[in-house]
């Protein structure tokens, strides 16, 4: 079973009497434990594709299957449940809650899901330890370096034991050295856990950490 299957997916936004095509008949298959780099210029449709794969947006047409689950026609409530249980996200801006500690930023995910209390704290502690942040669990985001904040974001994405993790420009705010460290960490964590991932980037250097690269231009995919 593939981690992700997009079949002839379109995303269209109405603008006055016309429309903007953000994703144009896109078809893509992501295998189990595969890391795919999605590369393209600004405005090419990268984030739209990621949002549809993760159930943030619904397609205008086409089929979206994640881990064997067809989410193409899901309601908002069904998509919320799907995101809680099946997908992890790491956004470009990290989006940590500024007044919560590193550990608490991980708890937030689990409070929305099925596990709470001691199990959530145990999972968060283990993840932060694996990510080299055992001594930083009580630090606020403002007390962490850029690389450390990105590690917390990766830990948060793994809290619900997802089938798929989606990374939107995970190294854009980091210098070359830190970016390489974060990508090495992403690759090792995904491979170790058997999780599939899509890494959206405009930086071709990131592709060496991925198993396959797909280009997107003006909403159209090409290998």
Tokens representing residue 51 in the block: 């949002």
* Model confidence band, residue 223 (pLDDT cutoffs 50, 70, 90): low
Terminal-to-terminal C-alpha distance of the chain? 21
- Sign of the CA dihedral 34, 40, 42, 44? negative
pLDDT for 114 beyond 90: no
Tokens representing residue 65 in the block: 């299957």
Q: What pLDDT score does 56 carry?
A: 94
Q: What pLDDT score does 96 carry?
A: 87
Tokens representing residue 177 in the block: 């050295």
* Model confidence band, residue 36 (pLDDT cutoffs 50, 70, 90): very high
The percentage of residues in the chain with a pLDDT greater than 70, rounded to a whole number, is 95
* Model confidence band, residue 130 (pLDDT cutoffs 50, 70, 90): confident
95-114: average pLDDT: 78
What is the bridge-based pairing of β-strands 18-30 and 4-15?
antiparallel
What separation in angstroms does the CA of 105 have from each of 27, 78, 111, 169, 182?
34, 24, 10, 20, 19
Report whether 168 contacts 47 (CB < 8 A).
yes
Q: What pLDDT score does 147 carry?
A: 86
CA-based nearest residue to 8, from 69, 63, 49: 63
SS (H, E, C) 125-169: HHHHHHCCCHHHCCCCHHHCCHHHHHHHHHHHHHCCCCCEEEEEC
* The 18-30 sheet, strands edge to edge: 18-30, 4-15, 61-66, 69-70
Q: Which residue, chain included where needed, has tokens 């989606």? A: 166
Contacts of 85 (CB under 8 A, 6+ apart): 113, 114, 160, 162
Tokens representing residue 185 in the block: 């960490």
Question: What region does 119 belong to: left with phi over 0, alpha with psi -120 to 50, or beta?
Answer: alpha
pLDDT tens per residue across span 67-81: 999 999 999 999 999
Report whether 96 contacts 133 (CB < 8 A).
no
What is the bridge-based pairing of β-strands 4-15 and 61-66?
antiparallel
User: Structurally, how many domains does the chain consist of?
Assistant: 1
CATH code of residue 89 = 3.40.50.300
CA distance 223 to 221: 7
pLDDT tens per residue across span 172-199: 877 888 888 889 999 999 999 999 999 9
40: containing domain: 4-222
pTM listed for this prediction = 0.89
What is the bridge-based pairing of β-strands 196-201 and 69-70?
unpaired
């Amino acid at each position: 079973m593939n981690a992700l299957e997009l079949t002839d997916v379109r995303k269209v936004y109405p603008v006055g009497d016309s429309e903007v095509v953000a994703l144009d008949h896109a078809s893509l298959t992501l295998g189990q434990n595969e890391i795919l780099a999605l590369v393209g210029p600004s405005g090419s449709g990268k984030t739209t594709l990621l949002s549809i794969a993760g159930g943030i947006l619904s397609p205008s047409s086409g089929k979206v299957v994640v881990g064997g689950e067809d989410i193409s026609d899901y309601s908002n409530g069904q998509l919320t449940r799907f995101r809680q249980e099946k997908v992890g996200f790491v956004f470009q801006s990290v989006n940590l809650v500024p007044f919560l500690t590193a550990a608490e930023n991980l708890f937030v995910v689990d409070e929305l899901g099925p596990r709470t209390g001691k199990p959530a704290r145990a999972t968060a502690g283990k993840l932060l330890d694996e990510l080299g942040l055992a001594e930083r669990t009580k630090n606020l985001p403002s007390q962490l370096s850029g690389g450390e904040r990105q590690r917390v974001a990766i830990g948060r994405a793994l809290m619900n034991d997802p089938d798929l993790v989606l990374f939107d420009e995970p190294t854009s705010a980091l210098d070359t050295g830190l970016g390489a460290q974060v990508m090495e960490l992403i690759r090792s964590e995904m491979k170790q856990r058997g999780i599939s991932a899509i890494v959206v980037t405009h930086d071709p250097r990131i592709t060496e950490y991925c198993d396959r690269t797909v280009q997107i231009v003006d909403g159209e995919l090409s290998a």
